[in-house]
Amino acid sequence: MKIALTPLLLLIFISAAAQQKRKTQPFILKGQCSDCKNKFIVMSFEDLNSKRYTDTIPLDTNGNFYLKTWKVKAPVEAAVEFAKNHTTGLNVAPGFNLTLTANECGMLAFQKTKKIAGIGAECNAYRFAADSIFCTSIEKMRNADIKSMSDSVMLTTFIEETRLYASVASAIFSKKTIGDRNFDFFRQVTGYELMFTKLSKLLFIIDWFSYDNEKTTRFLKDNFDYQVINNIFRNDYMLSSHYRTFMCIDYCNYLVDVDCKKDPGLCNNEFYVLEKINKEFKGLIKEYALHRKLRNMIGACASPNELEVKRKQLRPFIAGLISADLKRSLYNRLSEQEISLSTIKPGMPAPSFTLQSITGNMHSLADYKGKVVYLDVWASWCSPCRAETPKLKALYEKYKNDDRIVFLSIAVSDEIEKWEKAVEDDKPTWTQLFDKGNTIQQAYYANAIPKFILIDKQGNIVNPDAPRPSSGKEIEKLLKQEMEK
């Protein structure tokens, strides 16, 4: 697909927004998701000022849903989440009336069975075709041994895949002549998506094979349009959510890795990425990336003390933002985090729960009144969580015959099949529970995992951010103190 790298689409975006001021048209999304485990789906999108808009759409007993909203003011890339890891990208615009159907059983089945129709479906044709290609690629990669691939084989695989996506996009977007503003917008945004997806794959190869800085530069010049890299902070790229995500994750990691190869000590400085964005980034993406990183750092704070320390450390970076709205957003985030963390302070009653175990039995926190509870909040996809398992196993073995204490592990934001596979692989012998409705994650504010929580014999919180099993004597001392009370 030929990509015209011009600011034209900014004019289209602004014009479309102005048109909505003159005549408001709603966006409509309806359809059915069969076998959906949730009682609702969520549609969300983000504007260029990092403001997120969300609609929660209830499902009836047959999985039918209907949304009519005026929040969509201009063409934009949205996401519709049916379940964890069951999310579909959706191109939306005022006046679109879309019908979406899908089968929610399993991630690949979901992606393969979803269909789109109605006004605006032609603007989504590439998105759904690309997801189908993605499913095929995932299945191929499962059968391939990526660890044994050479860099040349991996590069060939990625390039062939990129060309396939580009050819599909070209075929779809060449069907309609210029004149439809929404179609033109998504044509251009798709071009940006293809471009930065390719660059992301190239950076993956660079990281996977640990290229040095000289080889990295040569590799990128040989396989990518280096002019794009030289002009990577263009404001019109901001229209693409893929570009924004790429810059905040892949490109930031790339820049930091380059410097860490020169000075390994930088790897221990969690704020270096903020310093790098301040120094290297330009234009709209600079403010956006800083805001996103700062917001994530605030959200990762697991205790009031940690939040207070982080508040002081992040203050200069927040003050350096130009946008008053972004500053206000971060100060609000600090206040929200403070309120949330204050709901699970030491001495307060631990939020109750009743969850199903891996064996099918139901377990309630109230069942363990009179015992000390060491709660492990984790997920199958969380590498640091699973890295704690051997130490947690050793800790459990030491106290498994002591009826004063119980160990509970609760999987959050996970898929049942993947959780079951992780339990099978890791072979923990203590109680394993599954947080089906994200009640634990919300009640205990476990947005950052692994998270360990210590609860006393009366059912009150001792420490909402307890030491990990890998802390050794630190956690053992705390457990013994509570057990002896």
Tell me if 345 is assigned to some domain: no
Q: Are 43 and 55 in contact (CB under 8 A)?
A: yes
Q: Give dist(CA 197, CA 70) in Å, integer.
A: 31
Could you tell me the CA-to-CA distances from 316 to 252, 285, 294, 312, 386 in Å, in that order?
20, 19, 11, 8, 35
pLDDT of 449 reads 87
Give the pLDDT score at 7.
Answer: 47
Element (H, E) at 118: strand 115-119
Asked if the structure places residue 96 within a domain, the reply is: yes
Distance in angstroms (rounded) separating the CA atoms of residues 98 and 92: 9
CA distance 139 to 33: 23
Residue 179, pLDDT score: 61
- Domain endpoint, select from 198, 229, 260: 229
pLDDT at 50: 76
Domain boundary among 229, 257, 282: 229
Classify burial at 480, counting beta carbons within 10 Å of its beta carbon; exposed 0-12, middle 13-18, buried 19 or more.
middle
Distance (Å, whole) CA 30 – CA 37? 18
Does any domain span residue 250?
A: no
Is the separation of the CB atoms in 347 and 452 below 8 Å?
no
pTM value is 0.78
Domain count, the chain: 2
359 and 224 assigned to the same domain: no
Last residue of a domain, one of 167, 202, 229: 229
Same domain, 225 and 359: no
The reported pLDDT for the residue numbered 1 is 42
CATH number, domain containing residue 396:
3.40.30.10
For the chain, how many residues are written? Answer: 485
Q: Which pLDDT score, from 0 to 100, does residue 292 have?
A: 94
- The residue segments making up the domain with residue 40 are 8-229
* Sequence-ordered strand ranges (E) for 25-85: 27-34, 40-46, 52-58, 64-69, 76-83
- Answer yes or no: is 349 within a domain: no
Please check whether residue 316 lies inside any domain of the structure. no
Q: What is the pLDDT of residue 6?
A: 45
Q: Is residue 119 in a domain?
A: yes
Q: What is the pLDDT of residue 20?
A: 45
385, 448 contact by CB (below 8 A): no
Structural domain contains residue 245: no
> Is 142 inside any structural domain?
yes
Q: Which pLDDT belongs to residue 418?
A: 87
Residue 437: the pLDDT is 75
- Ranges under pLDDT 70 in the chain: 1-23, 84-85, 104-107, 138-145, 176-179
304 Cα distance to chain centroid: 24
Q: Which two tokens stand for residue 256?
A: 């930091």
**Distance (Å, whole) CA 395 – CA 412:** 22
